[in-house]
Structure 1
Amino acid sequence: MPHDHAAGQVLLVGAGPGPADLMTVRAMRAVQGAQALLYDALVGAEILDLAPANCIRIQTGKRAARASMAQDTINRLMLRLARRGLKVVRLKGGDPSIFGRVGEESALLKSHGVPVEIVPGVTTACAAAAQFDFPLTHRGLARRVVFATATLTAGKLVADWDGAADPETTLAIYMGGAAARQIRARLIAAGRSPSTPVAVIENVGRSQARAVTGSLDSLPILAATSGGGPVMIVVGEVTALAPGALLQAPRDVVQALRA
């Protein structure tokens, strides 16, 4: 297909974990200057309100395990709007380069001659660690961090985390709440100790964020205490460094689940 030299521009922007004050200055300026905004479901009103009043706004609804706009449709929208000469901002939660399909979107746009800029953002794992006061790496405890997603196909976990069995690896699992039981089984089978500390953190970055901690063996119980918001699971010794008062699972919930 011939390139469209009259195309506008598409910015693939990371909105960060939620609050507007955790966006980068460049990301904020991109939203403020957008003529068309295609935003994911987890981007909040506080950030959307930064866009100009006359900006075209389209909610693409990308969220794990829920109905969302097809990726092909999003691609066509970006192309169509850019070909109208507009400055298009594709706004994604967290960082666009981490499970944000930035590679395929960028390649598609460039193949049609559309200029692309990628604007990074604070990813959920880093925001979770900061919000609940524990590090992702720590001398003597964790020398490596692995980012992973938990995808279930026919009820089975599609992932190879054998390297994450290293006790000095912190494993940050995005979209893992529904796969907590399979994650526990896979990691223990790979050699990770059942007593490894874990944290299950819901609604990272938001005022209603909550976290519970326990052991890898209790991960399904911890995940079941979530209230339906997006969940980040962090596996590793560093989670034990979080202040205990912030990270206690409700006893009545845990006892009921164990019954």
Structure 2
Amino acid sequence: MTAPLSPSAGRVALVGAGPGDAELITLKGARLLGQADAVVYDNLVGQGILELARPDAERVFVGKKAGHHTLPQEDICRLLVNLARAGKFVVRLKGGDPFVFGRGGEEIEALQAAGIPVEIVPGVTAALGAAAAFGFPLTHRDHAQSCVFVTGHLKDHSVELDWPALARPGQTLVIYMGVTGLDIISARLQAAGLPGGTPAALVYRATWPNQKIHRGTLATLPAVARDNQVKPPTLIVIGSVVGLMREPAAGAA
């Protein structure tokens, strides 16, 4: 549990901006964003969300793209500490949710070690945004009794995961940051027993104006990605719930 923020001292709020659509940020997140002296924000913060900040608020972009980081994570943590020590109320604005593959855990550790008051404001993670945008459930009594979120890009750049656990039947598998390792992911899951014909989809920028979805099966997904030149940020969704998807929304492919 995080302590409530004092209105006088320098402090930080880690705020989830949601999956992209500006209307999906929480009321609390929007309120704190409008109070911040400084906003440190990511590449995946949706269009229009920064407009909720004060016009005079300092804005610092620290976004990460595949193969390129504006600032290393250690420098981002140091930046947050320094801004707070200067007496500022800092909103660290993250796409999705700060604690779902958002490195919020690393940042709160650094802030707490420096004695900086910090609060967490959850956000709608990308998997939930994808399910809502394209009309498929992540769980369903007849299809998936569990849902697993996993990163396809580990800190050491490997793709070594618990493949037998991920290949279990009766679950939905959502893989973040996995497009570059899709060939390995597809092959390892099939080798672990997940049928190649399992429905699967690639979801690009769910809830953004340019959102897209490409459907296939576990076996065909690498070819689908190549044929459509799919790039990050894209979610991989695997499971029979994908077959329940409604007709694609505007912008879907």
For normalisation by structure 2, the TM-score amounts to: 0.90
Q: Distance in 2 between matches of 1:132 and 1:217?
A: 22
Q: Which 5+ residue runs of structure 2 have no aligned equivalent?
A: 1-5
1:181 equivalent in structure 2: 183
Task: Please state whether the residue corresponding to 1:11 is helix, strand or coil.
Answer: strand
Report Cα offsets for 1:134-176 as digits up to 9, x if no partner: 0000012100111011127998523223212112110000111
Asked if 1:162 corresponds to 2:164, the answer is yes
State the distance in 2 between where 1:221 and 1:152 align.
23
- Structure 1 range deviating more: 114-123 or 221-230: 221-230
**Matched residue of 1:157: which SS?**
coil
AA at the equivalent of 2:148: V
Count of matched residue positions in the alignment of Structure 1 and Structure 2: 245
- Which residue, out of 240, 244, 247, partners 1:241? 244
* Distance of 1:155 and 1:175 partners within structure 2: 11
1:232 pairs with 2:235: yes
Which position in structure 2 is the counterpart of 1:147? 149
On the 8 A contact 2:21/2:47 being kept in 1, the answer is: no
- Deviation (angstroms), 1:45: 3.8
SS where residue 201 of structure 1 aligns?
strand
Cα distance in structure 2, aligned partners of 1:174 and 1:199: 12
SS of corresponding position for 1:110: helix
SS at match of 2:161: coil
Deviation at 1:226, TM superposition (A): 4.1
TM-score, structure 1 normalization: 0.88
The correspondence for 1:222, drawn from 202, 221, 224, is 224
Task: Report the residue type matching 1:118 in the other structure.
Answer: I
Correspondence 1:1-259 to 2 at 5 A: 7-151=9-153, 157-224=159-226, 225-244=228-247
Counterpart code for 1:92: K
Q: Please list the CA deviations of residues 7-62 of structure 1 after superposition, one character each: whole Å capped at 9, or x if unmatched.
A: 51100010001111011101111111110110001113401111111111100012
Measure the CA separation in 2 of the matches of 1:156 and 1:25. Answer: 38
Contact 1:43 1:93 in 2 (8 A): yes
Deviation at 1:125, TM superposition (A): 0.4
1:202 and 1:226 in contact (8 A); partners too: no
Cα distance in structure 1, aligned partners of 2:182 and 2:249: 21
- 1:164/1:170 contact within 8 Å kept: no
In structure 2, relative to structure 1, the CA distance for the partners of 1:175 and 1:109 (3 Å cut) is same
**3-state DSSP class of the match of 1:238?**
helix
